[in-house]
Structures are given as C-alpha cells and as structure tokens.
Amino acid sequence: MIPMPENLPQPQLSPNTEIVLQKRYLRKDPEGNIQESPRELFWRVASAIAEQEANYERSSRAARELAQDFYHLMTSWKFLPNSPTLMNAGTDLGQLSACFVLPVGDSIEEIFDAVKHAAMIHKSGGGTGFSFSRLRPSKSRVGSTGGVASGPVSFLRIFNTATEQIKQGGTRRGANMGILRVDHPDILDFIRAKEKEGEFNNFNLSVGLTETFMQAVGDDAYYDLLDPNSGEERNRLRARDVFDLLVQKAWQSGDPGIVFLDRINRDNPTPDQGDIESTNPCGEQPLLPYEACNLGSINLALFFVPGHNDENDPAKHGIDWRELRRVVHLSVRFLDNVIDASRFPLERINQTVRGNRKIGLGVMGFADLLYELGVAYNSEQGVQLAERVMGFIQEEGHKASAALARERGPFPAYPQSVYAKGKKGPYRNATVTTIAPTGTLSIIAGCSSGVEPLFALCFTRNILDGERLVEVNRYFEQALDEAGIAGDEIMESVLTRGSIQDMDFLPAGLRRVFVTAMDIEPIWHLRMQAAFQRHTDNAVSKTVNLPNTATEQDIYDIYWTAYKEGCKGVTVYRDGCKSVQVLATGEGQKKMDGDAPTPRYATSVRKRPDMVQGFTQKVQTGLGAMYLTVNEVDGEPFEVFATIGKSGRSITAKAEAIGRLVSLALRSGVHVRDVVAQIKGIGGEHPVFRGKGLLLSIPDAIAWVLEKRYLKNERVRDVNDLEGQRCPECGEALAFQEGCLICPSCGFSRCG
C-alpha cells in the first residue's frame, strides 16, 4: 500500500454516513471490532486502485499523486465506486465487482456447473444473472436417458434453493436475475412463476421480449414458440394474450419485469463474442456470459452553482461543467484501474472481464440537482436537463476512455467491426456508462438515489440503540426556510402524507418542484428513463412507482410506451399490490386493510396451570450468554423466559419483554411456526456465529431455539424475505426503487 500522507485531511462525515460506514464498510476483526477509520478506509481504496498505474509504462500519472486525487474524489462525495470496491479493495479478498452473468447450458453438467459457480460468486459477495432460455422445454425427450425434461422453471427452483443456503459473508443471501425469452415454449409457466408469494424469493424475474413479439402485439397477431435447440416451431400463441398476462402479473405483484433483448443486442459492443442473454439482478447491466459489472456513480447534486440560475435554461449557468468534466475523466481512470485490481472467483470471468474491460459510470443525486435548480422532475425542463447532463457525461466518458486507449491500448477484444460502423475510438472500455442503483452509496454521499425521484421528502431513520430521527430532505428544508415556513407540525404532516401536493397552504411553486415518486405520472417516469437511456451505453435502473388505484391498462400503456421510447427494460411497482407490503403510502395501506371492521382483541388467552415442565437452554449471543427457559403444555411451547446476566439493565429488560410477548402469543393460540417467522432474522448490532449460521440478535436467538426444538422438519421463511415488509437490519420499511428493494434508512439492499 502507498504510505498515507501525514497531512491527508479527515473526511467530513454526517451522522448517517458514519453509521453506514461503521456498519458495512470499515474493516473488522473476527470478533466484529472495527479495525480502521473512515480516513484509512478511503486511503486503502484510493491506494489500491492507484497502484495499478504501475502496470503501464506509458502511464501519465504517478501512483502516489493519483492516490491522493482518488482519495479527494471519494471523500468530497463527488464520486463513489460500487460497494464491493469500497469493502474489498486493498484486502485479501479483492473481489471488487458487484454482479456477474453466468450461462446455463442444456445439460445436467452445465446446469450444475452454473449452480456451483453461482455459489462461489455469492460466497465472494456478488450477485448473478442467468438466462434459462437454452434449456429444453418441459416434457421434452432427453436423448441420453429416454426420460422427460422438467423445464426451465423446475431448474430455476434449484438455483433459488442453492442461493437460500449460500449466504454472502455468512449474513445475507445473494441476489439473482432470471430471464426467459418470450418465444420459449415454457414462457407461460415462467410468467406465472411468482403467483404464490414467497416462491423464487431470491430472484428477480424478467421476460426477454423480441422485436418479432412486440410487432405481433401491435398487429394483434400470433407468434411462434421455438425449440431452443432445433429452432423448430413448437407452438403458436396470440401475442396480446401473452402481453396481457405479463401486465396482469406485474399489476398483482410487480413480477416479472421486461427487457428488450433485440434492442440490447443492437448496442452490443462485441457482437463477435455472441448475443447478450441476461443482465445483472437490477437489470441495468446487460452482460455476456462470464462478464462482471464494474460500476461507480457521480453525485450530480454537488455540481450545482448557486446564484447562477437562468429561469429559461436552468442548466445553462447552474452547473459547473468544467468540474464535472474533470470528475468524469478521473472516474473513468479509477474504474479502469479497478478491473486490474480485481480478483475474480473464476478464471473464465477473469479472462472475459479483462478482455472487454466494461465499466459503468453512472449518476446519483439527480433529484436533488433538480430541487436545487428549481426544476420539476415531471416537466419538459427536467427531461431536457437529463438529456444535457447525461449526454455530457457520455461524451466526456468516451473521450476519457479513448485517451486511456492511447495510453494503455484498447481493450484486448476490441472488434475490428466497430471501425466499419464509423464509431470514434478505439476505446479502452467496451462500455463506459451505466445508471445503477445507489441505495447505500447515496446515503454515504448524502444525496438522492440514482435518477429516481425522492420516495419521500422526509422519513424516519433508525439511529443507534433504537433511537429514531425524522430526517428531512435538506433542499426541501432550505426551501421552506426561504419561504418563511417552518414548524414541527409541517414536518409531521409531510411525514404522515408522504407528499405535499394536497397541502394547499404551501406555495404553488414549492409544490410544483418538490414532487415525490408517487406524485409523478407514469409517462414522466418513462420519459426520464428514456432520456437517460439515450445517452447510456448499458441500461438504466429505474422503477415506475404507481398508486394502488393504477389499473392493468396503466401498466399495459407503460410497457408499450417503454418499447416506443427506446428503453431497454422497465420495472413497475403498484403501491400495496402485495399482501405483505414493502412500503405503502396512506392510500395503499387503506387498500390492504380493506373496509372490514376492526377485529376485536383476542380474549382466549389460556390460563397458566399450577405446574408446568420445560427446559432451559444456554445460548451465546452478541450481548452475552442468554438463558432461555421454555415451559410446555401437552408437548407444545406455552411460555418462555429469557434472561441475560451481567449485560446491563436495558438489555435485561428487553430480553424479558420479548419473552413476555412471545409467551402471550403462544398462550393466545398462535402457532410456534408463526412466532418463529415473525422474530427470525431480526438483525442486531452484535451478531455471533452459531453452528453453520449467525444469531443476529436476542429475538433471532429465541427463534433459533424454538425452531430447532419444535420445527425440526420444517423450514420457516422469515417475514423479511424478498416480499417482506421491513428491513432485516434496521427494521424500517423497504422501498421498491431502481428495480430492487432498498432501505432508505440504513442502505440495505436485496440486490447487493
């Protein structure tokens, strides 16, 4: 490692940034004790990435000087690489990529090779994307055995089960994308795969749509289902019936999404290496088999120049274009170096990634930039600003990649065909830009996520020791102050409603600019996504959030408009559409609750017999040894008592309270399975290993004892699975944004 300069400034950390860094990124010893400071973390990363300059004799930068530039780039919060780079750069693991795509061939050997390789990737902290389109359809003859094939959906279940068992770093499961072509004979089964909640909970699913299919939808025609091996027609379906089924399932649960495969492959920079069949879990990074995504994001909010707005053209004088150019060029160099610093879990991945050297420079803080400029997200000015900003980043990013190619040479697999297409170049990187999810990164940087509008102007954030703090968007708070509006009642009202659009006492200009995701009509979501897509090599991670009242026709129109607008895929989420909601607004919550009268409280709590028998088990938790006593009636758990000695009165009280509430549930007739499902997986500050897994907290330890004793032959799914309501780490409500479930409080993401 390059020695740290003595005068290297400390990064300025907000309380939220400090908490997230401590929880997720700072290196820890085996006992969980923090072993580095934030300054050491960012120097570790900057140094490890800058050291790669030694690989190139013609490098124009000295590694020590570049390391300081990288350090300032990150600690100014103007640019951050993806989480694996922050976590693992300069460590023994050295796995710096977030997501991978693996092929799934049509043989048992190839299928289980993919399962094994996925397990290796998940173990290293990455997510995986798969296309199951090569697998023969169900009920096909298997030539080698004379048997009958079970089809893609059956094997998808094997991948899902394997993911369930391989937890990343021992704490969380990996994320997957599963894609099936719309012309595969088993497409209807695939579209219906998530009809039952909890099925394929470790997968995002998307249907790969083709131009032939979309034309058939437009013409109300039939299209062919093709055998993936022979290419022969196996069946014909009415395209609109299939499209309607896609819409119906998306309306019901948000799954599956759609990707436009032909459009993705028209932009495939290396067609000589084959077709792109799949994407990473959030859909923004189409990749060839054995490729990995190498991502980073620029915080647009920090390029606003105050006092220089032009009402007719807010972007003209309100953005520091010179500084943005400098940051783009430095970020491209950083991401190219990340490829050299990475250690990949498979040699085939190592060869493919270094051959194509794909990077994905994206943005975050776009909604904040709009607030600063006084531009509404759902406006022509907003769309034009997206075009201008991303067009500038795209142009400068490619200039930076071309400059690196002159210095280091183009990417080794650079195809000669690009010269014939008249493209500029050659380039160092096969792709340069991607709009990726930035859930945790945006919390560190203190900005809005990706290119999404804010989900809420204020929300409750979980702080240490269970303390909760109402956090207000800084630009909204500033606008209120400038308008002479303040007061806790205003914030409480905003927190309750989630929007200010019906608060008529606020100035109209304020309500016009400070819109949130649920205030925006679907067409503006799509127009914004399309604006960014037109200036992005790869794809755009974005969700079209809809009110609960949205109809199937609304989703039909969204899918069709996404196709016409040039998007490479689209994800929708209707508020309150799941029986277990992710993050519902008031309207969605009312819909879930229904119009039924409030149920009476249960009065059938069983009385305690004078004598009961049970057992006491000692369980080592991160807060000390817990002694859990479980008393039984007729062989079933009836009451529990949890005590922790020498751990402080507060912890003792919490353990006793949890025990009493579990006892009340059991004595009220709640099955032990349901009790376990509610408290299993609840995260705490000091998890400890127990056997082959982790005990995350006191309630998780109680669930472990009850499950082990009474549910030996069952696997209980905790309520924090993919369709779960709360963040498994901090307990706050999850939001569906950028194609994934994200916790706006602590930065947890189901997609890595």
pLDDT given at position 715: 60
User: If you average pLDDT over residues 88-95, what whole number do you get?
Assistant: 94
In a domain, 693, yes or no: yes
Q: Where do runs of H (alpha helix) occur along 500-626? A: 508-513, 522-533, 552-565, 586-593
Structure tokens at 42: 């960012």
Contacts of 319 (CB under 8 A, 6+ apart): 303, 304, 305, 369, 389
pLDDT given at position 310: 61
User: If you average pLDDT over residues 552-562, what whole number do you get?
Assistant: 96
Cβ neighbours around 509 below 10 Å, total: 12
In a domain, 598, yes or no: no
Residue with tokens 């120049």: 305
Most confident range (mean pLDDT) of 263-267, 605-609, 636-640, 701-705 is 263-267
User: If you average pLDDT over residues 111-120, what whole number do you get?
Assistant: 95
153: domain range?
A: 99-279
pLDDT given at position 111: 96
Written in H, E and C, the secondary structure of 307-362 is CCCCCCCHHHHHECHHHHHHHHHHHHHHHHHHHHHCCCCCHHHHHHHHHHCCCEEE
DSSP letter (8 states) at residue 527: H
The C-alpha atoms of residue 619 and residue 645 are separated, in whole angstroms, by 12
Q: Does pLDDT of 264 surpass 50?
A: yes
The C-alpha atoms of residue 36 and residue 21 are separated, in whole angstroms, by 10
Given 219, 247, 279, which residue is the final one in a domain? 279
**In total, how many domains does the chain have?**
2
In a domain, 442, yes or no: no
pLDDT given at position 587: 45
In a domain, 538, yes or no: no
Q: Does pLDDT of 172 surpass 60?
A: no
Contacts of 416 (CB under 8 A, 6+ apart): none
Q: Does pLDDT of 731 surpass 80?
A: no
pLDDT given at position 721: 39
Residue with tokens 């982790």: 694
In a domain, 404, yes or no: no
User: If you average pLDDT over residues 105-110, what whole number do you get?
Assistant: 94
CA distance to 443, 629, 638, 646, per residue, from 660 (Å): 36, 12, 11, 20
pLDDT band at 15 (very low <50, low <70, confident <90, very high): confident
Residue with tokens 């006092």: 307
CA dihedral 352, 354, 358, 364 (to 10 degrees): 120
Rg (CA), the chain: 26
pLDDT given at position 365: 97
CB 142 within 8 Å of CB 149: yes
Q: Does pLDDT of 407 surpass 90?
A: yes
In a domain, 116, yes or no: yes
In a domain, 418, yes or no: no
pLDDT given at position 174: 75
In a domain, 747, yes or no: no
636-644/278-279 β-pairing: unpaired
pLDDT given at position 54: 94
In percent, the amount of the chain with pLDDT more than 90 equals 60
Q: What is the pLDDT of residues 578-612, one digit of tens each?
A: 643 333 344 444 444 444 333 334 446 888 888 88
pLDDT band at 128 (very low <50, low <70, confident <90, very high): very high
Element (H, E) at 479: helix 474-482
pLDDT given at position 645: 67
Higher pLDDT pick, 503 / 737: 503
Indicate which residues carry an active-site annotation.
280, 282, 284
Strand partners, 258: 207, 570
pLDDT given at position 171: 46
Q: What is the pLDDT of residues 569-580, one digit of tens each?
A: 999 998 877 643
> By mean pLDDT, which of 229-238, 340-349, 740-749 is the weakest?
740-749
The identity of residue 587, as a single letter, is: E
Q: Does pLDDT of 317 surpass 70?
A: no
- CATH code for position 225: 3.20.70.20
Q: Does pLDDT of 350 surpass 90?
A: yes
pLDDT band at 559 (very low <50, low <70, confident <90, very high): very high
223 closest CA partner among 213, 214, 233: 213
In percent, the amount of the chain with pLDDT more than 70 equals 86
pTM across the whole model: 0.81
CB 344 within 8 Å of CB 323: no
CA distance to 97, 303, 513, 597, per residue, from 446 (Å): 23, 14, 20, 43
pLDDT band at 461 (very low <50, low <70, confident <90, very high): low
pLDDT given at position 671: 87
pLDDT given at position 402: 96
pLDDT given at position 734: 76
pLDDT, the chain, mean = 87
